[in-house]
């Protein structure tokens, strides 16, 4: 019996000794690797995580610094001022997320006197829904070779005020910005415009990621129907987003009215699409601020452009 106990202890001891001998080179290798990286064995894991987190923060901070610089470079020829003094709208802190379903945004914006806004109301009209800072639309109004009027609709009033100050500084008479909830006000506004509505753009709208907030997204069936009704034949709808889910949602809503709209690549072979059906290039000649930021982060921008091929009889009757 004693002999059995001794053999058991001996085998247990030899097993532990074998485990130590087999794992010692691995431990030694790990320790040497940590020493080469300047990391002590006691705090290696936490230190590595902290260093990785710090590096990620540094990269993101650098991107955020570069993004405004790239925006300024893209829109350099506008020479827009950021400050207008304390009494007026200067540097604007942007509220990123606005709930369009609140009571303050539920009333339609009344149509303006178009003759007081544009020099020539017979020109074709382009409407940018959710125009943000307005730089994109101002650049088009100043640099586009086409004789066209431009209307920007934005739900954040401070951005509209600053955009209008920029328009005044540049002495442009073919562009105007309005504070409006486009989902509600689009139809009542553009239906009173004397000239034809030829282009509608919806560029990187607020994604409202949570499922219960999808009803806050600007592109709802009501707006799609209003665009279908008021856009002239041959008119275009250009939309894009760096959020695939949002881009797919917008795409599906316009694909649902395929009897009215056809994607541009089926109409004009000069517009190229990738295998998934997204436009390869931005056809507008200028990038939006969000587009610049997304591409700086290495994100893809998903684009679609539709052409109105015929009127929807049901919508026209309604």
Which run of H or of E encompasses 307? Answer: strand 302-308
Q: How far apart are CA 267 and CA 123, in angstroms?
A: 24
Nearest to 227 by CA among 146, 136, 307, 122: 307
> Tokens 């000069």 identify what position?
270
Token couple for 180: 């409006």
**Secondary structure E strands in 204-288:** 231-241, 261-263
Tally of CA atoms within 13 A in the half-sphere of 154 that contains its CB? 26
Q: How far apart are CA 178 and CA 167, in angstroms?
A: 12
Q: How far apart are CA 85 and CA 39, in angstroms?
A: 52
Q: How far apart are CA 197 and CA 278, in angstroms?
A: 24
Q: How far apart are CA 56 and CA 6, in angstroms?
A: 58
Contact between residue 132 and residue 155 where contact means Cβ atoms under 8 Å apart: no
Q: How far apart are CA 278 and CA 85, in angstroms?
A: 43
> Tokens 């942007």 identify what position?
94
Q: Which residues are catalytic?
A: 206
């Amino acid at each position: 019996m004693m002999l059995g106990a001794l053999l058991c202890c001996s085998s247990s001891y030899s097993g532990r000794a074998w485990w130590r001998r087999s794992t010692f080179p691995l431990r030694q290798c790990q320790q040497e690797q940590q020493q080469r990286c300047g990391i002590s064995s006691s705090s290696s894991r936490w230190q590595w995580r902290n260093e990785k987190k710090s590096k990620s923060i540094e990269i993101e901070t650098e991107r955020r610094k570069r993004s405004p610089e790239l925006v300024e470079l893209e829109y350099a020829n506008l020479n827009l001022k950021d400050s207008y003094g304390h009494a007026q709208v200067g540097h604007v802190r942007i509220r990123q997320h606005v709930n369009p379903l609140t009571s303050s945004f539920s009333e339609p914006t009344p149509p303006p006197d178009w003759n007081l806004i544009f020099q020539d109301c017979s020109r074709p009209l382009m409407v940018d829904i959710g125009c943000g800072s307005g730089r994109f639309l101002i650049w088009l109004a100043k640099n586009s070779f086409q004789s066209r009027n431009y209307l920007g609709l934005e739900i954040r009033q401070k951005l509209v005020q600053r955009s209008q100050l920029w328009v005044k500084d540049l002495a442009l008479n073919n562009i105007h910005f309005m504070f409006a909830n486009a989902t509600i006000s689009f139809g009542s506004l553009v239906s009173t415009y004397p000239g034809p509505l030829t282009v509608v753009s919806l560029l990187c709208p607020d994604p409202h990621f949570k499922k219960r907030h999808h009803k806050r997204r600007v592109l709802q069936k009501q707006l799609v129907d209003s665009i279908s009704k008021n856009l002239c034949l041959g008119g275009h709808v250009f939309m894009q987003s760096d959020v695939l889910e949002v881009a797919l949602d917008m795409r599906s809503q316009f694909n649902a009215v395929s009897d009215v709209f056809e994607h541009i690549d089926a109409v004009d072979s000069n517009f190229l699409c990738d295998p998934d059906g997204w436009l390869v290039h931005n056809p507008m000649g200028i990038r939006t601020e969000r587009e610049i930021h997304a591409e700086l982060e290495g994100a893809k921008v998903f684009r679609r452009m539709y052409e109105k091929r015929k009127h929807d009889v049901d919508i026209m009757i309604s």
